[in-house]
Amino acid sequence: MQTALTVPKLACSACVETVTKAVQQLDPQAQVQADPKTKQVVITSERPVSDLRQALTQAGYPPAP
């Protein structure tokens, strides 16, 4: 399942790395594509969207509602 989220705090490659690690701790098989310019994060994972949103929030990058 693919999920697209807007993450306003996503600003640089270090942010992308932090977001990717947060998602992959939840689901090691997840694929994460993030673009700091557009603030978009696309996650391919079998985990529920609520779990993905919570993982990003706990990492300090809460998705926009």
CATH of the domain at 18: 3.30.70.100
Q: Is residue 22 part of a domain?
A: yes
- What is the mean predicted confidence (pLDDT) over 10-15? 96
Q: Is residue 65 part of a domain?
A: no
Q: Is residue 63 part of a domain?
A: no
DSSP letter at 44 equals: E
* Mean of the per-residue pLDDT values of the chain: 97
State the residue range of the domain holding 29.
Answer: 2-58
Model pLDDT, residue 12: 96
What sign results for the dihedral spanned by CA atoms 28, 18, 61, 10? negative
- What is the mean predicted confidence (pLDDT) over 19-38? 97
- What is the mean predicted confidence (pLDDT) over 29-52? 97
If one counts the domains in the chain, the total is 1
